[in-house]
Amino acid sequence: MSNTDELAKILKGSTKAVFFGGAGMSTESGIPDFRSAGGIYSQSLHQKFRPEEMASHSFLINHPAEFFEFYRQRMVFMDAKPNDGHRALARLEEQGILRAVVTQNIDGLHQMAGSRTVYELHGSSLRWPCMKCGKVYPMEYALQEENKPIPHCTDCGGVVRPGVVLYEEGLDDTVVKNALRAISEADTLIVGGTSLVVYPAAGMIDYFHGKHLVLINKSETKADAEAELVIREPIGQTLAAAVAQLFPQ
């Protein structure tokens, strides 16, 4: 039995599946990951600061102009579209197999593909709240030429920042609580496109006590030995092929 056949069989018997995804989920949509050889954090972007520093809360506060230049250049992908994997997950939710998507990504592609229950652990690059009054702006507002180098709120004049979790910031308690509940209640957990090295998100899979653990990732992870099925193929192709078996057109 092929990996695709096995995955389709597992999904067919599931009614409370959860997908837990990382940056590898969006690479097939043209968004680079962070830690691979060609990832965002492997690139030398600035003579004085490392990329991890530039994506931190203190850098936003102390060097706002440089922060926004870095963010606009390296963290915004306006042309990215959902790939076959995003669409496959939306179909699984529609058919009552998938309960939720828990994602470390900030690109909003799961929602664009049609997924309704999505827990964004690291926030969303599509929503930009004012740091002073909380008014939320779309990403397009912050990218307008007249809002460079630092976008400001039209109501109170506060700085408008990306609604993502930066280094030195904590995850949203409500999002974490909902994600952990979904994982703990799942009968199947599919982990895809994450190296499982970034905490606290990586520790969330420890809350899974269901029947089937599936790992889809190009490189080895800490959870490989515990998984029922480990797949080293591209996530989008793998999910799409399994869903096509379940629901042929």
Q: Which residues contact 196 (CB under 8 A, 6 or more apart)?
A: 22, 202, 205, 221, 222, 223
| Co-location of 191 and 240 in the same domain | yes
Q: How many domains does the chain divide into? A: 2
| 59-78 mean pLDDT | 93
Flag whether 35 is in a domain: no
Same domain, 149 and 216: no
Which residues are identified as catalytic?
122
Both structure tokens of 224: 């490989």
- The range of the structural domain enclosing residue 140 comes to 40-77+130-164
CA distance 229 to 212: 8
The closest alpha carbon to 9, from 211, 148, 193, 157, belongs to 211
pTM above 0.75, yes or no: yes
**Same domain assignment for residues 14 and 134:** no
- Do 242 and 229 share a structural domain? yes
What band does 47 get if pLDDT is binned at 50, 70 and 90?
low
Whether 14 and 94 share a structural domain: yes
How confident is the model over 104-119, as pLDDT tens digits?
Answer: 999 999 999 999 999 9
Confidence band of 37 (pLDDT split at 50, 70, 90): very low
Same structural domain, 26 and 134: no
pLDDT at position 221 over 80 = yes
pLDDT tens-place string over residues 131-166: 999 999 999 999 999 999 999 999 999 999 999 999
- Please state, rounded to an integer, the average pLDDT across all residues of the chain: 92
Give one DSSP letter per residue of 209-237, joined into a string: -SSEEEEE-SS--TTGGG-SEEE-S-HHH
Q: What does the pLDDT look like over 172-185, one tens digit per residue?
A: 999 999 999 999 99
For residue 244, what are its two tokens?
A: 């096509």
- Residue 209 resides in a domain: yes
Work out the average pLDDT over 202-226: 93
Q: Are residues 21 and 94 in the same domain?
A: yes
Total Cβ atoms within 10 A of residue 145: 5
The Cβ of residue 28 has, within 10 Å, a number of other Cβ atoms equal to 18
**Burial label, 229 (beta-carbon count in 10 A; 0-12, 13-18, 19+):** middle
Task: Give the CATH number for residue 197.
Answer: 3.40.50.1220
- For residue 159, the domain's CATH number is 3.30.1600.10
Q: What is the DSSP letter of 160?
A: B
Contact 104, 21 (CB under 8 A): yes
Query: Are 121 and 218 contained in the same domain?
Result: yes
pLDDT digits (tens, 9 = 90+) for 228-247: 999 999 999 999 999 999 99
Q: Rounded CA gap, 145 and 190, in Å? A: 41
Nearest to 60 by CA among 172, 144, 142: 142
Are 207 and 232 contained in the same domain? yes
